[in-house]
């Protein structure tokens, strides 16, 4: 079709451009950046958003959810290219029916390539259960200060279709009020992707000793007995749980593991007493609340990838301990 652009159409185009600029500016104001797929690309993906359930089945969903981690989710970042799909694995935690907190490095573009979609599984401690609740999304928001040293390694995933009430959101730490201290015992969880239990489909939990709580750096944990145990690569973004006076709260999301944990065959997490590093929720709770509020009231501000670079910060004081992402 050819011809002049009419005044009303021109106004719509200008409004659309200004709206996109405003959305990017709104994210910038809260030190956030959209790290989801390009909206045009996302619309061409045939994978349905969310899942449909027969009437009457909701009461049967999530019957086998874990008592300690009812909001635990398994994430698959799917990169589709050249006729096949490559997947990166991570964990996350439901904080309300539409939002999941995870690690920024899970959802940032990998080697310059952007994932096509995120597949979400939750509602059951077994990934093979028929009761697993599935969602697919293209929307993720990363902290604008996330960098290759794992600083500010936190992100929010937004679901287009809400989760049913049977999936109970987790309680997370309040801003500047960490519910964990050095010397405490915390509980970690994940579906093993690497390490000696790789491929197990039942949720695994492990108590870990807290050896350091940095502000706003990392919560460092290790095996209480110095054994070869803990979470590993592929479980990034998964939760660390603290219970204070009988009240459980998620205190961190898995960010990295200690370097030098690989054995002779290259398998990670094969060193006794290795350290794991969690991004503290209490240092970013205000950021989390700001992102959820913006994405709830202005979905367009959070939808799709924005052409914005991450602010590179200097390496944390103890970044040399990190070998790689736990993704």
Q: Going by C-beta distance under 8 Å and a sequence separation of 6 or more, which residues neighbour residue 109?
A: 35, 115
Q: State the first-to-last Cα distance of the chain, in angstroms, to the nearest integer.
A: 48
The confidence score (pLDDT) of residue 211 equals 97
Whether 148 is in a domain gets the answer: yes
| Predicted confidence (pLDDT) at residue 316 exceeds the cutoff of 80 | no
User: Considering the chain, what percentage of its residues have pLDDT values greater than 70?
Assistant: 76
Parallel/antiparallel/unpaired status of strands 219-222 and 204-213: antiparallel
- Across 55-76, average pLDDT: 64
Q: Is residue 159 domain-shared with residue 294, that is, in the same domain?
A: yes
The confidence score (pLDDT) of residue 38 equals 66
- Which one, of 190, 173, 178, 59, lies nearest residue 127 by Cα? 190
For the chain, give the number of residues. 327
CB 59 within 8 A of CB 131: no
The confidence score (pLDDT) of residue 41 equals 55
pLDDT-derived band at 202, boundaries 50, 70, 90: confident
Residue of 37 and 162 predicted with greater confidence: 162
Whether 160 is in a domain gets the answer: yes
CA distance 6 to 216: 53
Strand order in the sheet with 72-81: 32-34, 139-143, 155-158, 99-102, 84-96, 72-81, 117-122, 133-137
The confidence score (pLDDT) of residue 194 equals 82
CA distance 51 to 136: 8
| Predicted confidence (pLDDT) at residue 10 exceeds the cutoff of 70 | no
| Predicted confidence (pLDDT) at residue 24 exceeds the cutoff of 90 | no
- Which one, of 191, 145, 177, lies nearest residue 250 by Cα? 177
pLDDT-derived band at 327, boundaries 50, 70, 90: low
Measured on CA atoms in the order 15, 18, 22, 28, is the torsion positive or negative? Answer: positive
Q: Is residue 84 domain-shared with residue 101, that is, in the same domain?
A: yes
Q: Is residue 300 domain-shared with residue 152, that is, in the same domain?
A: yes
The confidence score (pLDDT) of residue 309 equals 34
CATH assignment at residue 295: 2.40.10.10
Per-chain mean pLDDT for the chain:
80
The confidence score (pLDDT) of residue 201 equals 81
| Predicted confidence (pLDDT) at residue 163 exceeds the cutoff of 90 | yes
Within its chain, how far is the Cα of 158 from the centroid?
A: 10
User: Considering the chain, what percentage of its residues have pLDDT values greater than 90?
Assistant: 54
Helices (H), the chain: 7-29, 39-43, 104-107, 285-297, 299-302
Whether 118 is in a domain gets the answer: yes
The confidence score (pLDDT) of residue 8 equals 37
pTM: predicted TM-score of the whole model, two decimal places:
0.82
Q: Is residue 79 domain-shared with residue 143, that is, in the same domain?
A: yes
- CB 159: neighbour CB atoms within 10 A? 20
Q: Is the peptide bond before 216 cis (omega within 30 degrees of 0)?
A: yes
The confidence score (pLDDT) of residue 106 equals 95
The confidence score (pLDDT) of residue 325 equals 59
Across the chain, where does the E strand assignment appear?
A: 32-34, 72-81, 84-96, 99-102, 117-122, 133-137, 139-143, 155-158, 185-190, 204-213, 219-222, 239-244, 247-258, 276-280, 322-325
Whether 231 is in a domain gets the answer: yes
Q: Is residue 68 domain-shared with residue 151, that is, in the same domain?
A: yes
Residue of 221 and 13 predicted with greater confidence: 221
pLDDT-derived band at 27, boundaries 50, 70, 90: very high
The least confident of 10-14, 35-39, 208-212 is 10-14
Q: Is residue 275 domain-shared with residue 291, that is, in the same domain?
A: no
Number of domains in the chain: 2
Whether 325 is in a domain gets the answer: no
- Across 124-130, average pLDDT: 81
pLDDT-derived band at 318, boundaries 50, 70, 90: very low
- The parent domain of residue 252 ranges over 185-281
Q: Is residue 152 domain-shared with residue 296, that is, in the same domain?
A: yes
Whether 139 is in a domain gets the answer: yes
| Predicted confidence (pLDDT) at residue 100 exceeds the cutoff of 80 | yes
């Amino acid at each position: 079709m050819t011809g002049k652009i009419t005044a009303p159409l021109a106004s719509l185009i200008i409004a659309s451009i200004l709206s996109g600029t405003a959305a990017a500016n709104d994210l910038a104001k809260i030190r956030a950046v959209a790290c989801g797929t390009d909206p045009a690309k996302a619309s061409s993906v045939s994978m349905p958003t969310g899942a449909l359930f027969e009437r009457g089945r909701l009461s049967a969903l999530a019957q086998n959810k874990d008592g300690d981690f009812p909001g635990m989710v398994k994430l698959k970042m799917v990169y589709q290219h050249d006729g096949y799909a490559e997947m990166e694995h991570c964990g996350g935690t439901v904080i309300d029916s539409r939002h999941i907190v995870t690690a920024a490095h899970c959802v940032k573009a990998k080697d310059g390539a952007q994932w096509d979609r995120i597949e979400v599984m939750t509602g059951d401690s077994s990934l093979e259960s028929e009761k697993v609740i599935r969602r697919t999304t293209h929307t993720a928001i990363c902290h604008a200060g996330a960098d290759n040293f794992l600083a500010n390694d936190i992100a929010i995933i937004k679901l287009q279709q809400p989760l049913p009430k049977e999936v109970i959101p987790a309680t997370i730490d309040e801003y500047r009020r960490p519910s964990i201290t050095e010397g405490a015992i915390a509980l970690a969880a994940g579906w093993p992707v690497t390490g000696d239990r790789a491929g197990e489909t039942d949720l695994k939990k492990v108590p870990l000793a807290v050896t350091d709580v940095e502000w706003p750096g990392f919560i460092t944990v290790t095996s209480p007995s110095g054994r070869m145990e803990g979470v590993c690569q592929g479980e990034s973004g998964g939760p660390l749980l603290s219970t204070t006076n009988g009240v459980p709260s998620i205190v961190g999301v898995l960010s990295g593991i200690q370097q030098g944990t690989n054995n002779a065959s290259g398998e990670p997490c094969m060193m006794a007493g290795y350290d794991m590093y969690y991004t503290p929720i209490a240092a970013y709770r205000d950021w989390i609340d700001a992102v959820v509020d913006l994405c709830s009231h202005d979905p367009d501000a959070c939808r799709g990838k924005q052409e914005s670079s991450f602010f590179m910060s200097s390496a944390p004081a103890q970044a040399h301990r990190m070998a790689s992402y736990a993704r």
